[in-house]
Structure 1
């Protein structure tokens, strides 16, 4: 009876020692007698006790490295403080264990030097304006090295690019000047369009008046109205001017002035009508 109990206990101990549960999102690397043997997937796995040994278990989920703010000199000799985050994951468990020691430390150092190198190849304006292209360049260059480590760089996010206070002030002044310049251009364009509309309206009015005078040259009421309107407009503008002067006209003689202007206008329109008929 005792031998049977001993055998049962050995079998139970063997089963407990050989059963390994790997959590979802993880993988484990098994060596047999000191050599790479196989990779365990999530779930229940069995190994040979004593002969097999799990040397590494790690996650295959996405991880990140927060790069400390770096002081970098750009292509146009401006000091910047750049802060970035690198997102990565293990794509090959055995290579991440056998090809590199201290994987996270190596990734941090590689990401830092690559970030400094790429930013230094660009001007301040390029680093700010083409940030997506800069991120892609960093990713491509990192993956060239990390591929043999069994690591995939998923994305790089440059969180902050901080220039010195003097440069930041100059950038704000430049943006303000650009906004002011665009506003002045829009205002000038609006005035130009208004002047064009006004000229088109004046042209149409003159055409209507000209047709009316051709059909009835003796009708002086139209010209009398126009002369009076121009007189009122001129008086208004003269009064609004800072250098305005008051001009007095004899009311008795004002009618003679209007009659003279009307006579000249009628003669001009009559001559135009005769020339047109000839």
Structure 2
């Protein structure tokens, strides 16, 4: 009877010990909480938690991720529309904040990005928007980095996939001082960059 009791106790102890062993894969972290609050963040490796007190709240991938903003239109300052599509490259910067401070950080960031894009484009003419791509990416990147940090997200860059006036005629209305980009080969040919077919030769005079 005593041996049976010791066997049961040993089995329970072994089970609790096994339950307390947690393995975190490379490239991940595990957020551990105790009594419903953040206790610590485990890096990659094998760790021993206190059974019945500690629990893994979430496992987070530390790799780079991409948040896509699908194509949409925004009104420029001259009331012409601009088609915009971009992506945000980010990764988890503060695991605990990413778990506890934001229920859906990427969705909140997407909404803020949409608001910032519309605000930025509204202060420009549609024709000049494509020529200020770098400026817009930097402006949006700064806003996204600040907002992302509050949600445990480290924003690496904001990059446009599409940025152009929706209507072709709006693209030609450049303001003074803004130079157009390099013309395409087709455009150069149409503008007289290459000669067209020769007309009929004039008759020789005798």
Which band: TM-score by shorter chain?
Answer: 0.7 to 0.9
**The structure with more radius of gyration:** 1
Aligned to 2:67: 65
- Deviation sequence 1:76-95 (CA, Å, 0-9, x none): 32211211111111100111
Q: Report how far residue 106 of structure 1 moved.
A: 1.1
What RMSD in Å do the two structures reach over aligned CA positions?
Answer: 2.9
Contact 1:86 1:111 in 2 (8 A): no
Runs (5+) with no aligned partner, structure 1: 185-240, 247-278
Aligned to 1:158: 160
Aligned to 1:19: 21
- Deviation sequence 1:35-84 (CA, Å, 0-9, x none): 22111111111111221121121112111111121210112322112111
Aligned to 1:85: 87
- Deviation sequence 1:177-224 (CA, Å, 0-9, x none): 89847889xxxxxxxxxxxxxxxxxxxxxxxxxxxxxxxxxxxxxxxx
**Higher relative contact order (Cα pairs below 8 Å, separated by 6+ residues):** 2
Distance 1:81 1:180, change over 3 A: closer
For 1:133 and 1:20, the matched residues in 2 are separated by 46
Distance 1:152 1:21, change over 3 A: same
Aligned to 1:37: 39
For 1:122, what is the secondary structure of its paired residue?
coil
For 1:153 and 1:45, the matched residues in 2 are separated by 30
Aligned to 2:107: 105
Contact 2:130 2:164 in 1 (8 A): no
For 2:137 and 2:106, the matched residues in 1 are separated by 20
Contact 1:114 1:142 in 2 (8 A): no
For 1:44 and 1:183, the matched residues in 2 are separated by 69
TM-score, normalised with respect to structure 1: 0.59
Q: Which structure features the higher share of helix residues?
A: 1
Contact 1:71 1:82 in 2 (8 A): yes
For 2:172 and 2:191, the matched residues in 1 are separated by 15
For 1:169 and 1:37, the matched residues in 2 are separated by 55
Q: Report how far residue 30 of structure 1 moved.
A: 1.1
